[in-house]
Structure 1
């Protein structure tokens, strides 16, 4: 029997179908309306907001760091150059996971922890789209490894940027200084907009003193980039303005000569133009290669410099505080005349020592038997200590302090170089403040001959000598001669005051004549010249004290316990063109230090015009050279000094050394 199926209900099926159609249309309509509303919200109500956000993703404003200004000597010889190097850069806008990116980059770019820490400090304060360097001065191996895996690092790029190079290495290190990576402390102090995209800043020397002139003004560029940070097209550009070029008062040839005299020795030489205060040469020995610091010095190299017993990083010319010894006797003698305690006819009888009234202690003269009857002129020529012992006893430490400070002792000279030492001209107030003790009369006696607590820098000695040469006209030492560029700067090249002196103008001339006789017949006679007249004063500064009644015996002292040799002088005596101060650590005698100054006088006054010392090699300034390259690494014919010039330098140094070491000094000063 067949089953009985009900007839098909057509009406019901149509009703179900219609309902389904209406529901589907409703759902589609709802989502279509929702889509239209959302589209209207994005395109109409929030158009400005999202249009700006979209442009920020697509269009970026990239900073363009300015090139640093060049530094030249007074003759236009290039001392600080700019060279291109390859740097690895990253911007936060292109990186989702910065830590992961850095960790993957470590083996590719050989990143150190120092590189990573420095980058993280800088990226936190940089603009989101600013490209910050994570490693400077990439070598060929770094670039090759990165190129192979570039597709794995969207947002990381290799860019060509400018860095600093010092073609003459150690020669100008303590004058020019160097630039280095911006550290955390500097990052808090600098204008971040002005240093956008910049990695380097002046650390010491001229590079630091004139950072505001050398740095320049940054520019910017609008670019269109894809999601990976790759540049699609350039939309607009504002070029950066290069920093000012600086022309220093330093003379390349005189700097070379001064450096040769101190080669293999510890000490400093400063040469000034007494009429303007321009520093013609400033050498601290030993020195260092500033190129090591530009892109980050290795810990090994830095430890080697820091732990070196000779302290090559220490700028002895500006920071070194030495007992000035007898070099200050001309200035001190003028003080006695100023206050009326002595005149040129005042005489004493020198028996080889001086004792304070009521005290048996003997302050000894360097000549055991004394110099007999001594007046001011003779006291300068033979460097009679006893004469100045007597003068200091009459004058007292307060008046001595008041007078000597007019020559710049005990205060900064105002030189345009950082980290200058004040030296020390002691006083009763200073001793009570620092040592909580009263001043002793015997201390006044020691200060009168540049010993005791009295210390001065070679730069201070050069300035005081220039003031003496100027017959009391004061100058402020400076190394900047001229600045050229968009930032205006005025340099003062003249005297700027006068010593308060109660004597006669002839007193300055008589002191000059006494200093001339120091060189012609006194303790500095080994440097007298027939071509021009030198006025000078030698000095010997005691390093190791000698007990009362004991005799100075070099044979039992170590090399570093020997006395310092000092010399100050100017020439030509009648119309000075150059004033020089020399400090030779453990040089034994002032006469030996004077011989180091003689080649500088000869060069400046006799040979500079006709046969100047200049770099004879062609300096490469446009090739792809790394900042760590040394002049010796340059191709043959491109080094800073030619083989002939180097040979000449060696011959001059050997001749100077032979001249000094072969002669036996008979005077302590």
Structure 2
């Protein structure tokens, strides 16, 4: 036997005889044409080459099966007899060829060997009888297993979505038992049906109309349980409704739960039914309109890993027989995410912020492990799965504090918490002598030629101002003078060494910090303002925390990490400050708490060092009373944790002292 390849040899022969038409067609030639159509899924053309078969049985069946099973990459080959064997069969009315068929399906590859019988037919063409060959087709040529009947089954096994855990294996997004609430229509009390529906609707947060629509569904049969809503937990009102309305039943199922709720919503995100718009963005044929998909946070960022891959099984079933498996792709459950986050720290920080608009980050300054990423205020991610009312959605959208905004991924003017960075730049490039003093009188100062613009400091000095005094009292004028002496080029160079203007090397997308709108400083006033964290300087809470790690990490700025298996203590920047200069600034930051602007953190239970900051937002230089945002970046003196906290609109709440107290409370609570 030899493999039949209907290629250039035949064409060459035809050309040699001057395109003379062959008297008879060979069965293998017709079969090759049929195979070509088959491989291209040209079922109409295939049908014209088969004998005595109903069109619907052939075309419709092929199209449906191939579509449902997502058949592609069909390959068909066959063997033909050698010349001697073929001559013996010249007068035969039929000829059988072994077939090898392979294809790809939604469940993986399908291959089979079978036989095809070619049947000789005589056709009259222009008054002459000519021999031709047709395929003697049967359903076994679709799949051998259905030759004598049978039903093709397609079973999809949904993957288990990967879960998200904190560093201690506590759940941030888990698959757990939830409660499905519904009714059995026949069990409504006839004379109380209206009031019972109203009670159920109120308890479940739905309308009576929604209940009626569910009961009127086509699939509902007598004594069926009709589901109305799935909830993560049973509230007192739901339990009361269950006890008072006999038809209201509950059964358990598995659903996605976010145990921390609002406290980690912006970090974790949520899953919800895929929208038509989202389906287009995904550009993935494996999604359907009935799927759940990740929105926001890690649920969206790690959608592919968390989702997994569905398992698929294609079978042929015949009555009284075990199903035959044609192809099977094992289900691949989603991967779990293990974070460096500490649920305890995440929750305590969120509670301390008390829905004030702001953000906070906590890291281990030695390893860069991110212990908390908080955005406040927030929203309940469970609502997107278990019933988000229009009222709640509108309330979130119209809230002036914008609970839907992820603030930990954003940048803000750092204010005076920027001064240790400016100090480091000046000490390291030699422009700042820590012992040099400046005579500064009053609360305002300007350089000649600045017109009406003045630098303002929060408190007067009792004498000459050196670096320590400037940090402790947070003296804007001192840092403005130092920056002007340093010069814009040296200052900008130093800030770039801290990563300003670079993408933050972090798993979660964080807006890059900036020196100015174009990365340069060309004006003296902008240089002066930038030195104390105003001007156009913008930093994220995470970047600030990482920057302060140099004082606790031998001069190296840690690379922040979020995934536990990536936490290796790698540095983002190295050698930013000498041990001597680091010691000077650390001592000053301890004095900020004991004698300076950070006294709200001077607790008996824990020794804290850090820096306060107030950033004033003005529409113009002439505006007098702009919005004030408060900062505190600090750590216990044992260096075990570093927190960077920011709260908006502190102008009526004791300024940065309001933030400092909250951050200190967190550090004290975490020590317990």
**Distance in structure 1 (CA, Å) of the matches to 2:323 and 2:502:** 55
Residue aligning to 1:578: 641
CA contact (8 A) 1:323 1:541 kept: yes
CA offsets 1:351-389 (integer angstroms, 9 cap, x no match): 133322444445233246455311111111111111101
Task: Choose which of 331, 354, 366 in structure 2 pairs with 1:263.
Answer: 354
Residue aligning to 1:145: 217
Task: Choose which of 572, 593, 598 in structure 1 pairs with 2:659.
Answer: 593
Q: Please state how far the C-alpha of 1:250 moved relative to its aligned partner.
A: 1.7
SS in structure 2 at match of 1:600? helix
CA offsets 1:511-570 (integer angstroms, 9 cap, x no match): 11111110111110221134443120001111246866x865xxxxxxxx5411111012
CA contact (8 A) 2:453 2:621 kept: no
Residue aligning to 1:569: 634
Q: Please state how far the C-alpha of 1:177 moved relative to its aligned partner.
A: 0.9
Residue aligning to 2:432: 342
> Residues 525 and 234 from structure 1, CA distance in 2 versus in 1: closer, same or farther, beyond 3 angstroms?
farther
- How do 1:230-241 residues align onto structure 2 when only pairs under 5 Å count? 235-236=324-325, 238-241=329-332
Task: Choose which of 531, 539, 546 in structure 2 pairs with 1:456.
Answer: 539
SS in structure 1 at match of 2:347? helix
CA contact (8 A) 2:366 2:552 kept: no
Q: Please state how far the C-alpha of 1:417 moved relative to its aligned partner.
A: 1.8
Task: Choose which of 160, 175, 181 in structure 2 pairs with 1:82.
Answer: 175
CA contact (8 A) 1:423 1:457 kept: yes
Q: Please state how far the C-alpha of 1:336 moved relative to its aligned partner.
A: 0.7
Q: Please state how far the C-alpha of 1:510 moved relative to its aligned partner.
A: 1.0
Q: Please state how far the C-alpha of 1:466 moved relative to its aligned partner.
A: 2.2
SS in structure 1 at match of 2:409? helix
> Residues 62 and 143 from structure 1, CA distance in 2 versus in 1: closer, same or farther, beyond 3 angstroms?
farther
Q: Does 1:179 align with 2:251?
A: no
Residue aligning to 1:534: 608
**Distance in structure 1 (CA, Å) of the matches to 2:276 and 2:450:** 59
Q: Does 1:481 align with 2:564?
A: yes
Q: Please state how far the C-alpha of 1:495 moved relative to its aligned partner.
A: 2.7
Q: Please state how far the C-alpha of 1:45 moved relative to its aligned partner.
A: 4.1
Q: Please state how far the C-alpha of 1:404 moved relative to its aligned partner.
A: 1.8
CA offsets 1:176-201 (integer angstroms, 9 cap, x no match): 11123334565456574665797122
Which residues of structure 2 form unaligned runs of 5+? 1-49, 55-116, 120-133, 181-209, 223-251
**Distance in structure 1 (CA, Å) of the matches to 2:174 and 2:381:** 12
- How do 1:38-437 residues align onto structure 2 when only pairs under 5 Å count? 44-45=136-137, 48-51=140-143, 58-83=151-176, 142=214, 145-148=217-220, 163-184=255-276, 186-188=278-280, 190=282, 192=284, 195=287, 199-223=291-315, 235-236=324-325, 238-294=329-385, 297=388, 299-319=390-410, 321-351=411-441, 352-367=443-458, 369-370=460-461, 372-418=463-509, 420-426=510-516, 429-430=518-519
Between 1:49-58 and 1:392-401, the stretch displaced more is: 49-58
**Distance in structure 2 (CA, Å) of the matches to 1:50 and 1:72:** 48
**Distance in structure 2 (CA, Å) of the matches to 1:370 and 1:86:** 65
Residue aligning to 2:585: 511
CA contact (8 A) 1:68 1:82 kept: yes
**Distance in structure 1 (CA, Å) of the matches to 2:392 and 2:289:** 28
Query: Scaled by the length of structure 1, what TM-score is found?
Result: 0.64
CA contact (8 A) 1:206 1:416 kept: no
Residue aligning to 2:668: 602
CA contact (8 A) 2:140 2:146 kept: no
Q: How many residues align?
A: 481
**Distance in structure 2 (CA, Å) of the matches to 1:423 and 1:590:** 21
CA contact (8 A) 1:73 1:247 kept: yes
Residue aligning to 2:236: none
Structure (1/2) with the larger helix percentage: 1
**Distance in structure 2 (CA, Å) of the matches to 1:509 and 1:404:** 20
> Residues 216 and 444 from structure 1, CA distance in 2 versus in 1: closer, same or farther, beyond 3 angstroms?
same
> Residues 201 and 38 from structure 1, CA distance in 2 versus in 1: closer, same or farther, beyond 3 angstroms?
closer
Task: Choose which of 595, 613, 617 in structure 2 pairs with 1:521.
Answer: 595
**Distance in structure 2 (CA, Å) of the matches to 1:143 and 1:224:** 36
Which residues of structure 1 form unaligned runs of 5+? 1-34, 88-137, 151-159, 432-437, 483-490, 553-560, 608-669
Task: Choose which of 552, 565, 585 in structure 2 pairs with 1:469.
Answer: 552
> Residues 224 and 441 from structure 1, CA distance in 2 versus in 1: closer, same or farther, beyond 3 angstroms?
same
**Distance in structure 1 (CA, Å) of the matches to 2:447 and 2:583:** 32
CA offsets 1:237-291 (integer angstroms, 9 cap, x no match): 6541221222222222222211111114111121111112111122211100112
**Distance in structure 2 (CA, Å) of the matches to 1:175 and 1:189:** 22
CA contact (8 A) 1:408 1:463 kept: no
Residue aligning to 1:543: 617
SS in structure 1 at match of 2:136? helix
> Residues 369 and 84 from structure 1, CA distance in 2 versus in 1: closer, same or farther, beyond 3 angstroms?
closer
**Distance in structure 2 (CA, Å) of the matches to 1:455 and 1:235:** 64
> Residues 294 and 148 from structure 1, CA distance in 2 versus in 1: closer, same or farther, beyond 3 angstroms?
closer
SS in structure 1 at match of 2:153? strand
CA contact (8 A) 1:353 1:362 kept: no
> Residues 499 and 363 from structure 1, CA distance in 2 versus in 1: closer, same or farther, beyond 3 angstroms?
farther
> Residues 224 and 528 from structure 1, CA distance in 2 versus in 1: closer, same or farther, beyond 3 angstroms?
same
CA offsets 1:603-661 (integer angstroms, 9 cap, x no match): 222x1xxxxxxxxxxxxxxxxxxxxxxxxxxxxxxxxxxxxxxxxxxxxxxxxxxxxxx
Residue aligning to 1:104: none
SS in structure 2 at match of 1:373? coil
> Residues 36 and 512 from structure 1, CA distance in 2 versus in 1: closer, same or farther, beyond 3 angstroms?
closer
> Residues 453 and 225 from structure 1, CA distance in 2 versus in 1: closer, same or farther, beyond 3 angstroms?
farther
Between 1:66-75 and 1:470-479, the stretch displaced more is: 470-479
CA offsets 1:35-57 (integer angstroms, 9 cap, x no match): 99669879934555455796899
Residue aligning to 1:637: none
